């Protein structure tokens, strides 16, 4: 089994603890589902957040997701001119039988602009943003 790194990013609408927790879980859920991961596959996780996100570390959201005994680290994303605001990035180190070419990195919401080549249909829209079909 190989050690691989998976990347992902998501944006949040506001520097709000509940929002950061919710978006972190949304990002991890997509990474786990698309790559058929379990918590036992994860070796460690590195999160970065832009300097405008200070109310909650993304690791708190990861703990709520179930990564309770996995080493987690949070850092501040390097500020860059014209950089994406209110963005959480993640790098998961995992054990997997999948080759690099089979990994599915996940960039959601406005973070799709970071890697449009990896975006899938609907990634720029969050699950809670989709309008429900009217009941008939």
Summarised one tens digit per residue, pLDDT across range 87-125 is 999 999 999 999 999 999 999 999 998 998 898 888 888
Assess whether pLDDT exceeds 50 at residue 83: yes
Options 3.40.50.10860, 3.30.1330.40, 2.60.120.680, 3.40.50.970; CATH for 2-123 is 3.30.1330.40
Structure tokens at 51: 């300097």
Domain ranges of the chain: 2-123
Q: How far is CA 103 from the centre of its chain?
A: 14
Which structure tokens are listed for 36? Answer: 């058929």
Model confidence at 130, pLDDT cuts 50, 70, 90, reads: very low
Taking each continuous run of H as one helix and of E as one strand, the counts in the chain are 2, 5
CA distance 71 to 131: 37
* Tens-digit pLDDT profile for residues 4-61: 999 999 999 999 999 999 999 999 999 999 999 999 999 999 999 999 999 999 999 9
């Amino acid at each position: 089994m190989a050690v691989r790194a998976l990347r992902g990013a998501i944006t949040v609408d506001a520097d709000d603890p509940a929002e950061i927790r919710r978006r972190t879980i949304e990002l991890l859920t997509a990474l786990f589902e698309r790559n058929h991961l379990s918590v036992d596959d994860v070796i460690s996780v590195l999160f970065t957040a832009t300097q405008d996100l200070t109310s909650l570390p993304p690791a708190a959201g990861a703990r709520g997701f179930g990564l309770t005994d996995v080493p987690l680290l949070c850092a501040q994303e390097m500020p860059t001119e014209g950089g994406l605001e209110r963005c959480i990035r993640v790098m998961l180190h995992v054990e997997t039988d999948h080759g690099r070419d089979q990994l599915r990195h996940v960039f959601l919401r406005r973070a799709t602009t970071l890697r449009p080549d990896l975006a899938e249909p609907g990634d720029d829209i969050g699950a809670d943003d989709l309008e429900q079909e009217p009941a008939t």
